[in-house]
A and B are shown apart, each in its own frame.
Chain A
């Protein structure tokens, strides 16, 4: 006696060669069983037939767009923890304007103003950008959050400076500060910032420049060792 599950597996061609032959022999001697298998096969064929042509239909653009590989330069997905709302009170202003600074009063020990290029990192900020890996916490008031390759073939780094966050990109051997936010004092006058979080404004600026995902630890070590020289 062959049960229905085995007959079905036979009809679907799922049995190994020996068992398949054994059932073939049994079917040859039993017209009722053979008719049953024929019906099983017919149902399977009917079902497949009903779905004929489905695979040739055009996929709606919205579904295509969801998975299609993104061209470089689109919005990057930085790690979620980086995206946390950071600067209470600043978010709105930062998203609108974003401090693309060109000479605002900043700590002269950490930045100098170049007449044509704007702010250039110096001192402890420059040293941190040159040599410190990301995620190491603050030292000398400076913390480096992440690094990435930019579309110009160089590198950029997101940093935190006291209550400010900024984006610096390598340029002619210097780190040019291309974006800098200024912490907005809350109503009470004190600065409110969640530790370790980067404001959206800086991430937006990073998104616009990045040529790939943030460097991992190994990639960053290599870039530091190569003194952030541009790739080929």
Chain B
């Protein structure tokens, strides 16, 4: 695969990458900034991607690293980020999402309440549809770690989404 072909494949991954970034950052604007950051990083090291491995996993790993860096740098600057998707993106709930039992803005609020390490697992597995094993490969952690993070996240999600105290 030459560079033009890889780039063409990256273009196809953009909708998924944007959805992933939206789930992580909680807002469309921050999400697209993260997408840009991730793409710039990926383009700088296209030569590190190995043919025969999955380009999407590689890209998502870069995106999650970029996100962690952003979170850390915000913390080190002492900026407390209060995530408020509603304020950031009026009308973020499209017609399709409004008919769902959980609106997008509520989902983003719930995700924002999760610790980062749990949020990223939920975004990979529950929203994008990666298997536990694939998520563990993207994050570079054992599969058991993915399972336990997801399990803790799920308990919190059930409490907030379904209004339950315990799973």
Contact = CB atoms under 8 A, between A and B. Distances in A.
B141 interface: no
B134 to A, nearest CB: 11
Nearest to B164: A39
Contacts, number: 114
Contact of A66 (B43, B101, B167): B43
A68 B125 CA distance: 28
Identify whether the interface residues of A are mostly helix, strand, loop, or mixed.
Answer: helix
Interface in A40-62: 40, 42-44, 46-57, 59-60, 62
Given A50-B104, A66-B43, 7 more contacts: A5-B148, A48-B127, A52-B100, A59-B14, A64-B14, A66-B36, A67-B7
Interface residues of B, number: 48
Contacts of A63: 14, 18, 32, 35-36, 39
Contacts of B39: 63, 66-67
Contact of B11 (A9, A50, A64): A64
Given A5-B148, A51-B23, A59 B158 contact: no
A8 interface: yes
A14 interface: yes
A12 interface: yes
Given A4-B151, A62-B36, A43 B100 contact: no
Interface residues of A, number: 35
B151 A5 contact: yes
Contacts of B15: 54-57, 59
A55 B19 contact: yes
A43 B7 contact: no
A50 B151 contact: no
B158 A55 contact: no
A54 B10 contact: no
A50 to B, nearest CB: 4
A69 B127 contact: no
A70 B148 CA distance: 43
A8 B39 CA distance: 33
Contacts of B154: 4, 8, 40, 43
30 contacts: A4-B151, A4-B155, A4-B167, A14-B132, A39-B164, A40-B167, A42-B162, A43-B161, A44-B126, A46-B100, A46-B101, A46-B161, A47-B127, A47-B157, A50-B97, A50-B103, A51-B97, A51-B107, A51-B127, A53-B96, A54-B15, A54-B18, A59-B14, A63-B18, A63-B36, A66-B36, A66-B40, A67-B11, A67-B39, A69-B3
